[in-house]
Structure 1
Amino acid sequence: HISGHPFIAPTARIYAPWLLTVGDRSCIATRSEIYNLGPVIIKERVTIAQYAYICNGSHDLSDNKLPLVVGDVVIDNDVFIGARAIILPGLHLCRYSVVGAGAVLTQNTTDFGIYAGNPARFIKERKIYGE
């Protein structure tokens, strides 16, 4: 489901478009990938930078049959996901949070939280100027 006027680069890869929601003025940049075996909800004014990878499917490694595990990835308004960042299944990225370039996010974020590293950790709070 697409609403408003988002930008989705022609080179972006979306595994299951019917499981994707993208809000107004959000951007899915060049060569980014959304592997959405389960729902991925991208709200408004979200930036997903080049080569970022949203992974919403994995396997239960504690079961030798390796059953598929999916969740819902929810990316709230005004989130920024840096280049080559990886977002793991079932996470909630809260308003105005930032995932740094190359980070591997394994936990939910907090409003205005900046996360970086592998695994990504909280670094500091994001400040918004001019509002």
Structure 2
Amino acid sequence: MNYVELRSFSTGTFDKGAGFIKQTLWYFTNALFVRASWNPFMGIKIALLKAFGAKIGKGLVIKNNVCIKFPWKLTLGENVWLGEDCWIDNLDYVTIGNNVCISQGALLLTGNHDYTLPTFDYRNAPIVVEDGAWIGAKSVVCPGVTVKSHAILTVGSVATKNMEAYCIYQGNPASVIRKRIIK
């Protein structure tokens, strides 16, 4: 996949990318069929995500209780794993490459508020997770972050800045603890 380094934050007017009717239909479809723990059928979830505009490659594994804010702002490569209770809070675009694992309870957070303004306007920025990366359980990727190829964010860590390729990050804020060597 081609990746674009996107770090600029949009402020002020927030574009949800869809009208009221589509948002409302997605809200109920998501609650009843996609996020619902009673539905173990990945094919149905994938078909519904695509119907609402998500771009999805082959081999997606989407577990129960996965929350996706706006599927029309989501691109998933091939062989992506979305673990239980992970949350893609994509107020802005999220692009996930091939062979990526987003583990249980991980949060991809594209939005924030501008605390310098009394109106707390949104400050949104896209997230890119490149090929071969792994976002560990209960970890957070903040707005505007690019997780480069084959980087790892360990359990419970918080990525506030771009992560370099083939590095393992840990902590809050996450920092490099060692290189990732693939055998």
TM-score range, shorter chain: over 0.9
Query: How far apart are 1:9 and its partner, in Å?
Result: 1.4
SS at match of 1:18: helix
Normalised to the residue count of structure 1, the TM-score between the two structures is: 0.95
1:10 is displaced (CA, Å) by: 2.9
TM-score by length of 2: 0.69
Residue matched to 1:25: 79
Question: SS at 2:72's partner residue?
Answer: helix
Q: Give the superposed CA RMSD.
A: 0.8
Alignment-derived partner of residue 48 in structure 1: 102
- 1:10 and 1:22 map into 2 onto residues whose CA distance is 17
CA distance in 2 between counterparts of 1:69 and 1:125 reads 32
- Corresponding residue for residue 30 of structure 2: none
The Cα offsets for residues 83-125 of structure 1, whole Å up to 9 and x where unpaired, read as 0001101110000000000001101000101100111111111
**Does the residue aligned with 1:128 lie in a helix, a strand or coil?**
coil
Code of the residue aligned with 1:13 in structure 2: it is: C
**Runs ≥4 residues deviating over 4 A:** none
Of 144, 147, 154 in structure 2, the residue corresponding to residue 93 of structure 1 is 147
Q: Figure out how many residues of one structure are paired with residues of the other and give that number.
A: 129
| Distance in 2 between residues matched to 1:78 and 1:57, nearest whole Å | 24
Any unmatched runs of 5+ in structure 2?
A: 1-54
What is aligned with 2:115?
61
Gaps of 5+ in 1: none
How far apart are the structure 1 equivalents of 2:164 and 2:82? 22
Paired with 2:179 and 2:164, the residues of 1 have a C-alpha distance of 9
In structure 1, distance between residues paired with 2:168 and 2:88? 21
- Percent identity over paired residues: 30
Partner of 1:109: 163
Structure index of larger Rg: 2
Q: Does 1:14 find its partner at 2:68?
A: yes
> 2 CA distance for matches of 1:79 and 1:8?
17
The answer to whether structure 1 residue 70 and structure 2 residue 124 are counterparts is: yes
Aligned equivalents of 2:57, 2:135: Cα separation in 1? 20
